[in-house]
A = this chain, B = another copy of it.
């Protein structure tokens, strides 16, 4: 048993358990959690102490006394369909009045009323607002009307979620203050100064992020308890103070509709508009300025400052150019999946820590029991760890830990033993990284999206929330593959071409999304840049609806997939191909077929994947790799000196990840290189500096397999379910 690199959630009243598990799990740090406290006995036990602080909601008394300084946001009212020329709208109808109250005292100049049947704003003199009701006169019969309005939020969302999930009854509801008010900023600084003085034993202030939660709108209808949620949206940063500051001196002001977007809000899944990108930068500047000031307070008191990248992380933006200016000492990420580990590991910060699942709560995010009768937290933990561990083979994570109520784990001896083993595994893997980086394949991969680097290793949200999002499935596979991966924005590629050194470009996602890219593909510079990249020898992987334009965006153009000339595949929404599709036959022993399905069963790779009804081969020379109901769902072809691969969709799995890796190598024009297991359920990493090969069974079955190096067998291993082995290279 080793020790260190482990953060244990302590719990006052359970001191013996806390210290016993700290010993057993090799913890070097004890933390508190939302809902738990550390007692004097724990604080004085000699461990490092993390204290979780969520500044904006810490001082409930002050917030109550300053009740107009809470955070705000725009909402769009539910549409009302005019059945007479006078329409009356109670804007908050359908929304949670626990969460929201109408701001009718400030910022009414930002309200807008829309005819959503025409999509256009109503002139200001066409409506009035009085006694909580917007009244429209001269409405068109049969048209739908909505109001964009400002609300103040009465209940901080994470508090709301934890409260409701854990049935906390009349425990106080926390409130989030708005730091754009100078009085709030001053109060936060004073409060933190005082807190540091009164908490000398704390070694690390673990900011539960900084100021702004991702967007999360709750409703009043039991059938629609939530209206909107997005893990990367800046909706909660809008309020009269910030809006006025932003618009100061601007020719074109930002409006409520720039946030509301006809009810789509500023979802990360949609390509960001230019003004919203500016708003994000403006918000980041503010968060950075105040955040730095607060971190300096922590440092002045001899403590470290870590930040948690899940709750109120908006404006922190670890992948922005300016993140290092905060001066954070560590970054903590809650993880379900491998890509979330890479998201953390890829940030330039001294310490990378993961908070594992399950969280020590009675039930999980879906409401199923974990540390409660009927739960099996050990299986849960093994599943999460094994899924995520692939990523740790590729990138260093310094620390792991848990959160929640430690006492809930007391009855689960097998869970305690399993976490001890996990902690040892993590330290073993970390030590190999510390001795020297693992070998990567000589193929550099770039994922091209609307967001580029700012949304590296994420598509906003967890995999279980977005199982249909092909790019998220792809990056989950990439998280455990031996490629260098970077994230490029389509705008960068339009402006400067595909950067030197990139071997393979991936574009994946539904048409119109930020992941596929939407209207960016109407820019011929972008299409030509990627076309030239492949013609000159690059590789392209197009997945789902790559480079897709809407019909209405593609006037005069040949294709819906703007890279169809390169891919040799298009997805037509029209009809011309219904009667006349290009014929093909699948030759399972032909070259791209055997290369791409080496050690990957095509049936498993494409399990559950349908053919888009309009898919067609747009030129000759395209090899169909797999089909569904007579339509191609995977193709490979040469284009100029390069190569292109199309997959109709993608679901992460052992076989899929192997096929993806093979497709990356093939499209780069290379054979598979480096260490690999014949069985795709096993991931392999070679650490040259240590002379070790790490072999991880990423499945929950026993696997016996051979390990190859550049195609030659160098070892045979048998691994138990989820087993790990370290071999001599």
Contact = CB atoms under 8 A, between A and B. Distances in A.
A451 interface: no
B557 A262 contact: yes
Given A223-B582, A579-B229, A263 B532 contact: no
Interface of A: 78-79, 81, 83, 114-121, 140-144, 146, 221-230, 257, 262-265, 267-270, 461, 465-466, 468, 510-513, 518-519, 524, 527-532, 535, 549-559, 562, 565, 573-576, 578-580, 582-584, 610, 613, 619-620, 640
The 8 closest A-B pairs by CB, nearest first: A119-B556, A269-B575, A142-B528, A142-B531, A552-B552, A550-B550, A116-B558, A226-B580
Given A116-B558, A257-B556, 16 more contacts: A116-B556, A116-B559, A118-B524, A118-B557, A119-B557, A141-B528, A142-B530, A146-B558, A226-B579, A226-B580, A229-B579, A230-B579, A262-B554, A267-B574, A270-B575, A513-B574
A83 B267 CA distance: 39
Query: Which of A79, A115, A221, A556 gathers the greatest number of chain B CB atoms within 10 Å?
Result: A556
20 contacts: A79-B558, A117-B524, A118-B557, A119-B556, A140-B524, A142-B531, A143-B527, A224-B582, A224-B583, A224-B620, A230-B575, A262-B554, A263-B558, A264-B576, A267-B574, A468-B578, A512-B551, A518-B551, A550-B550, A610-B610
A144 B565 contact: yes
B550 A620 contact: no
Contact of A465 (B466, B578, B583, B620): B578
B226 A262 contact: no
A264 B574 contact: yes
Given A143-B528, A465-B579, A532-B141, A270 B620 contact: no
Contact of A556 (B120, B229, B583): B120
Residue with the greatest number of chain B CB neighbours at <10 A, chosen from A117, A511, A549, A557 = A117
Contact of A223 (B228, B530, B551, B583): B583
Can you tell how many copies of this chain the complex includes?
Answer: 2
Contacts of A529: 142
Which among A141, A146, A551, A553 has the highest number of chain B CB atoms within 10 Å?
A551
Given A270-B574, A576-B267, A554 B620 contact: no
Nearest to A559: B116
Contact of A144 (B140, B146, B558, B576): B558
A510 B560 CA distance: 15
A230 B223 CA distance: 46
Contacts of A229: 579-580
Contacts of A78: 619
Contacts of A550: 550-553
Looking at chain A's contact residues, is the secondary structure mostly helix, strand, loop, or mixed?
loop
A578 B267 CA distance: 11
A228 B576 CA distance: 6
Contacts of A535: 81, 83, 142
Contacts of A221: 582, 620
Residue with the highest number of chain B CB atoms closer than 10 Å, among A264, A555, A576: A576
A267 B511 CA distance: 23
Contacts of A268: 575
Contacts of A510: 573
Given A552-B553, A574-B270, A579 B640 contact: no
A339 to B, nearest CB: 17
A556 B269 contact: no
A242 to B, nearest CB: 23
A532 B584 contact: no
Given A558-B146, A575-B270, A117 B528 contact: yes
A554 B121 CA distance: 14
B519 A579 contact: no
A171 B223 CA distance: 71
A28 B47 CA distance: 105
Contact of A579 (B121, B461, B513, B558): B461
Nearest to A466: B578
**Among A226, A461, A468, A531, residue most surrounded by chain B Cβ atoms (within 10 Å):** A531
Contacts of A511: 573
Nearest to A219: B580
Nearest to A583: B223
Given A143-B524, A512-B574, A556 B228 contact: no
A531 B81 contact: yes
Nearest to A585: B223
Contacts of A264: 574, 576
A638 to B, nearest CB: 13
A711 to B, nearest CB: 34
Nearest to A231: B579
A620 to B, nearest CB: 6
A223 B584 contact: yes
Contacts of A267: 574-576
Nearest to A530: B142
Contacts of A552: 519, 549-553
Nearest to A554: B119
A535 B267 CA distance: 33
A121 B556 CA distance: 9
Nearest to A114: B556
A148 to B, nearest CB: 11
Contacts of A270: 574-575
Q: Which of A461, A466, A579 has the most CB of B within 10 A?
A: A579
Contacts of A620: 221, 223-224
Nearest to A270: B574
Contacts of A513: 574-575
A578 B119 CA distance: 23
A146 B565 CA distance: 12
A228 B557 CA distance: 17
A553 to B, nearest CB: 5
Contacts of A227: 580
A259 B144 CA distance: 37
A160 to B, nearest CB: 15
Contacts of A79: 558, 565
A527 B142 contact: yes
Nearest to A622: B223
Contacts of A582: 221, 223-224
Nearest to A120: B556
A512 B573 contact: yes
